[in-house]
Structures are given as C-alpha cells and as structure tokens.
Amino acid sequence: MDFDLMISSFPKLLNATLITLKLLSLSLIIGLMLGLLFSIMRISKNPIINKFAYGYSYFFRGTPLLVQIFIIYFGLGQLEFIRSSFLWAVLKEPYWCAIIAFALNTGAYTSEILRSAFQTIKPGLIEAGKSLGIQTRIIFFKIQVPIAIRQSLPAYGNEVILMLKGTSLASTVTIMDITGVAKYIISTTFKPVEVFIVAGGIYLFMTFIVHNVIKLLEKKYSFK
C-alpha cells in the first residue's frame, strides 16, 4: 500500500469530482424534462406519438451508453450539414456531447419510470377531480404529478445512482472526470489498487448521499 500516493491523488480526484457533479446535475435536469415529456407522450392515445416515444425509450434502453456517446461525439461530426450549422458549436465539445448523450439516456429511463407512476394512479382520483369541476390542467399538476412523484421516487433514486456511475463514461471522450483522472494516475504510477480505493470511495460517498436524500424525500412525500 502506497499511502503517499493515496494522499497526493485525493485533491486531484476531488477536483475532478466537480466535473462529475456538473455532468450529473445538468444531464439529470435535462433528462427529467425529457422524461416528463416522453412519459406524457407514452400515455397519449395517438398511436404515432405513442410509438415514437416507445421507440425512443426502446433504443436508449436497449443499447449501451458507450455506443450512444460515440454516435453523438464521433458520428454526428461526420455529417456535413451539422458541421456547417450552429449545432457544431455545441457538438464539437466533448463536454456537451457527453451531456446530450447522458440526458437522452436518463430521459428514456425516466420516461418509463414516470409512465408506470402515472398509470398506477387510481382513475377514481382523476374522476373525483373532474366531478368537482377542477380544470384538467390543475388536475394534472395538483393531483397526478404529486402522486406520480411519490410513486416514482424509489425507482428514480436508483436511476440517479445509475447515472452517477454512467458519468464515468465521459472519460472515454477525453473529459477528465473522476474516472478519467483515476485512469491517468493509474497509467502513470501503475498502482491501480490505491487509486481505486480513493476514487471508489468518492463515488461511494456520493451514492450514499443520493441514497439518503431520496430516503428523506420519500418520507416527505409519503402519505401520513
């Protein structure tokens, strides 16, 4: 055990944690919005909208995240009309490519989680709201959404943790997140175990915090 290396690599990895957290929070925010949008499309009765949302979630859940990142980062740059459009300013940055891939990926999982949450709401609750003469929009935001949030919290907590682990793939497109820095230190010092303990410890600590925040939220939203 090389404790000096562990101590000296800790601040470097902690610096990289900032990038991991940025990747995670941005992709979760965008992914949540995408997920909400696509879950509403999934419960729509229009077959085209429905099929489109299903295809989206099937593709992103059926292929590895690594393939999705590579398609966006290496693949899209090949198209001439993308290179000449304003999109290129975003798509030439590995950072934004990673965020787009993560957001689309977590959006697909989130849409499935939210869809099942919406579908488990008892129709009686919506009918009760309707018979009280409440507007459909208000029924959606004041009845369906709060119940769906409560229903989907445990599953969404898992998704956040999966996404936290998923951000490590950003290191494959040259972003120096925790895993990227860890790989760099390993390949220069050839001491994988020490670096693994420090980097893994940071990840575990973050998973621990996410786990507990979700638990608190579950308590807050539970029926008393």
Residues found near another protein in the complex (CB under 8 A): 58-59, 62-68, 70-71, 74-76, 78-79, 161, 164-169, 171-172, 179, 182-183, 186-187, 190, 192-193, 196, 199-200, 203-204, 207-208
Under a CB-based contact definition with an 8 Å cutoff, are residues 89 and 193 in contact?
no
Q: How far is the CB of 123 from another protein (least distance, A)?
A: 26
Q: How far is the CB of 181 from another protein (least distance, A)?
A: 11
CA distances from 167 to 20, 59, 162, 172 (A): 6, 19, 9, 10
Under a CB-based contact definition with an 8 Å cutoff, are residues 190 and 29 in contact?
no
Note the Cα 158 to chain centre separation in Å.
10
The two tokens of residue 98 are 């990673």
Cβ proximity to another protein, 33 vs 209, nearer residue: 209
Cβ proximity to another protein, 78 vs 131, nearer residue: 78
CA distances from 43 to 11, 22, 77, 135 (A): 47, 32, 34, 19
Q: How far is the CB of 109 from another protein (least distance, A)?
A: 12
